[in-house]
Amino acid sequence: MALKWHYLYLKEKRSPFGMVAIRLALVMTFILILTFTLWFLENYFDPGGMLDHNDPTGVFSFIDAIYFTMVTITTVGYGDIVPVSPLARMFDALFITPGRMFVWLIFIGTAYQFVYQQYREEWELKKLHKKLNNHIIICGYGMTGQAVVDELLNKKYDIEQLVVIDNNEEFIRYAADN
């Protein structure tokens, strides 16, 4: 007679702080790439393409590139550093503006994932709670847990009434297979 087992194994999830840290690192890497590219283009291909109203020397430093990228991506846009050449304006239109959208999508996606994860966990627990009625829960499927299951099955308990909980995935798989 084939026994039918239902099992639920909750894998360890990444911590929310870990997910945020990974996404923040991705955003910061992306911003640094944009910043370096802007600085490189301005200093080697298009000198004078960016105008800093507060710096009459016309030198576009790496700090200026970081500042412009951050101010533009965060949509603050003070207007003290502006693209004035066609190449600088194209870089802003084709890279910085889509970069802004990318950064906001990462942030929105992170928030969505937190909300969705919370909703899904609640939904799964409610679904499981509806199914569990008049069950016997065996905590741990080591030697004693296996003996308890064998004894209950010998006493003609229905296999559908037994729930085995263990923090070891291999034990859960073994319980489901045997």
Query: Which has more confidence, 34 or 124?
Result: 34
pTM to 2 decimal places: 0.62
Provide the mean pLDDT of the chain: 85
What confidence category does residue 164 fall into, taking pLDDT thresholds of 50, 70 and 90? Answer: confident
Specify the pLDDT at position 1.
Answer: 34
Whether the pLDDT of residue 45 is over 70: the answer is yes
pLDDT in tens, 5-42: 444 545 556 677 888 888 899 999 999 999 999 999 99
CA angle (147 as vertex; 146, 148 as ends), nearest 5: 90
Q: Mind listing the domains of the chain with CATH numbers? A: 16-129 (1.10.287.70), 132-177 (no CATH)
Asked if residues 39 and 62 have their Cβ atoms less than 8 Å apart, the reply is yes
Packed helices 169-177 and 143-154: angle between N→C axes, nearest 10 degrees: 20
Asked if residues 164 and 141 have their Cβ atoms less than 8 Å apart, the reply is yes
Asked if residues 4 and 160 have their Cβ atoms less than 8 Å apart, the reply is yes
pLDDT in tens, 144-157: 999 998 999 899 88
Specify the pLDDT at position 4.
Answer: 42
> φ, ψ for residue 131 (rounded to 5)?
-75, -30
Specify the pLDDT at position 169.
Answer: 82
How many residues are given for the chain?
178
Specify the pLDDT at position 14.
Answer: 66
Name 95's Cβ contacts closer than 8 Å, sequence gap at least 6.
34, 37, 38
Report the DSSP beta bridge partners of residue 165. 139
Specify the pLDDT at position 18.
Answer: 83
The 8-class DSSP code of residue 44 comes to: I
Mean pLDDT value across residues 122-150:
85
| Sign of the four-CA dihedral 15, 17, 22, 26 | positive
Asked if residues 85 and 49 have their Cβ atoms less than 8 Å apart, the reply is yes
pLDDT in tens, 77-103: 888 999 999 999 999 999 988 988 999
Asked if residues 61 and 42 have their Cβ atoms less than 8 Å apart, the reply is no
Specify the pLDDT at position 13.
Answer: 62
Specify the pLDDT at position 171.
Answer: 85
* Separation of alpha carbons 99 and 35, rounded Å: 11
Packed helices 62-73 and 97-131: angle between N→C axes, nearest 10 degrees: 50
